[in-house]
């Protein structure tokens, strides 16, 4: 008797395009960059591409910023949080934060205690941090907070404004804490805000950044970027090693990051994704019974009757994202650099039929 091995993930639907922006393939410029370094080179970051990436980070984020390429977003988040916390402290985050909801036991394994707070459309507010400080600091029965972690774009598809982020960073710093940004979609947020990457991070007070490229057209590359002196200089390198994020052939990660951030590719791809999301949201809003949250970036949240959800999920992998105040299920749809008008129209036609 033979049995069919269980699939690792089971999701309704066939077409995965709008399930996430990490569904899309690698951008041609990324593939060209990988091919260009496909030759002998020094290992562990001593190659020319990795040296160039260090210079790119310095140019983008300012003198004193430094970075390490890593394999994935969870790796970037865990390395970053370990650099600004210790096993006997806590990290404050929203209860929707990816590091809290979707990174399994990685924080626990790394000795990180997360302190999730009720979100406000995915965001933390200064008063949320103040509340935790008031209850935990000096309390011998509580872990002592050393850091705050936020996502930009948030898991609810929203984007912190510069004013919101500045206010939050000020409260965090006044308390002697450091702030980490999960920037898996930082490019999309910066493009939506009309800011460069420095203006969306360093200039607002972010101390350490998980810089995402995979969800914006890379094959698979992220980076940990230190932006302030609140992060000790000597901690990052050993953390990279013992968290198994040190690549021997670092040049293949660095080449992707150079192609993404050393050119305008990050902005072009992010703008394309954001524009597609606006087009999708407008199309969905015109369908009777569908209520759409105006997208801040490239994520569309649409509440719709159960029958429409079922119709959609017959054709597309579409993740459910809770319910609205009227009890309608909310579907999350994410656009990428590769989302075309034709792709959007195909989805809309399914719901119009």
Q: Sort strands 319-323 and 329-334 into parallel, antiparallel or unpaired.
A: antiparallel
Structure letter (DSSP) for residue 160 = -
SS3 at position 124: coil
The domain over range 28-263 is classified in CATH as 3.40.50.2300: no
pLDDT at 1: 45
The per-residue pLDDT for range 25-55, each reduced to its tens digit, is 999 999 999 999 999 999 999 999 999 999 9
Structure-block tokens of residue 340? 């075309």
- Radius of gyration, alpha carbons of the chain: 21
Q: Sort strands 208-212 and 222-226 into parallel, antiparallel or unpaired.
A: antiparallel
pLDDT at 7: 53
Cα separations in angstroms, 130 against 118, 208, 302: 13, 21, 33
Q: Sort strands 291-293 and 299-303 into parallel, antiparallel or unpaired.
A: antiparallel
SS3 at position 15: strand
pLDDT at 191: 98
The per-residue pLDDT for range 187-237, each reduced to its tens digit, is 999 999 999 999 999 999 999 999 999 999 999 999 999 999 999 878 888
- Our CA dihedral for 337, 338, 343, 345, rounded to 10 degrees, sits at 30
Q: How far apart are CA 345 and CA 340, in angstroms?
A: 9
Q: Which residues pair with 181 in a beta bridge?
A: 150, 209
pLDDT at 63: 79
* CB 185 within 8 Å of CB 298: yes
| Same-fold call for 28-263 versus 266-352 | no
* CB 274 within 8 Å of CB 188: yes
Which CATH class, in words, describes the domain spanning 266-352?
A: alpha beta
- In this prediction, the residues of the chain whose per-residue pLDDT falls under 50 are 1-5
* CB 116 within 8 Å of CB 101: no
> Domains of the chain: which residue ranges?
28-263, 266-352
């Amino acid at each position: 008797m033979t049995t069919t091995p269980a699939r690792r993930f089971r999701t309704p639907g066939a077409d995965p395009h709008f399930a996430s922006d990490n569904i899309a393939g690698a951008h041609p410029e990324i593939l060209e960059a990988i091919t260009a370094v496909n030759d002998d080179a020094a290992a562990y970051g001593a190659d020319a591409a990795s040296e160039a990436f260090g210079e790119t980070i310095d140019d983008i984020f300012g003198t004193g910023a430094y970075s390490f390429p890593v394999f994935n977003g969870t790796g970037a988040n865990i390395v970053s949080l370990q650099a600004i916390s210790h096993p006997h402290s806590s990290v404050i985050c929203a209860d929707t934060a990816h590091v809290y909801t979707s990174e399994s036991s990685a924080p626990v394994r790394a000795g990180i205690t997360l302190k999730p707070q009720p979100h406000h459309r995915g965001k933390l507010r200064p008063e949320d941090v103040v509340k935790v400080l008031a209850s935990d600091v000096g309390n011998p029965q509580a872990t002592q907070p050393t850091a705050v972690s936020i996502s930009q774009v948030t898991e609810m598809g929203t984007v912190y404004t510069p004013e919101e982020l500045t206010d939050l960073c000020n409260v965090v710093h006044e308390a002697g804490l450091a702030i980490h940004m999960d920037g898996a979609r930082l490019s999309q947020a910066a493009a939506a805000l009309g800011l460069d990457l420095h203006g969306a991070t360093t200039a607002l007070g972010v101390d350490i950044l998980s810089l995402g490229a995979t969800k914006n057209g890379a094959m698979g590359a992220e980076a940990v970027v230190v932006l302030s002196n609140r992060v000790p200089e000597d901690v990052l390198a050993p953390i990279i090693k013992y968290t198994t994020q040190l690549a021997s052939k670092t040049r293949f990660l660095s080449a992707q990051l150079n192609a993404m951030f050393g050119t305008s590719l990050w902005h072009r791809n992010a703008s394309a994704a954001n524009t597609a999301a606006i087009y999708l949201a407008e199309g969905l809003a015109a369908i009777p019974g569908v209520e759409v949250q105006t997208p801040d970036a490239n994520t569309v949240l649409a509440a719709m009757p159960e029958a429409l959800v079922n119709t959609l999920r017959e054709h597309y992998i579409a993740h459910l994202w809770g319910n609205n105040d009227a009890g309608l299920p909310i579907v999350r749809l994410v656009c990428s650099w590769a989302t075309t008008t034709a792709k959007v129209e195909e989805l809309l036609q399914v719901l119009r039929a």
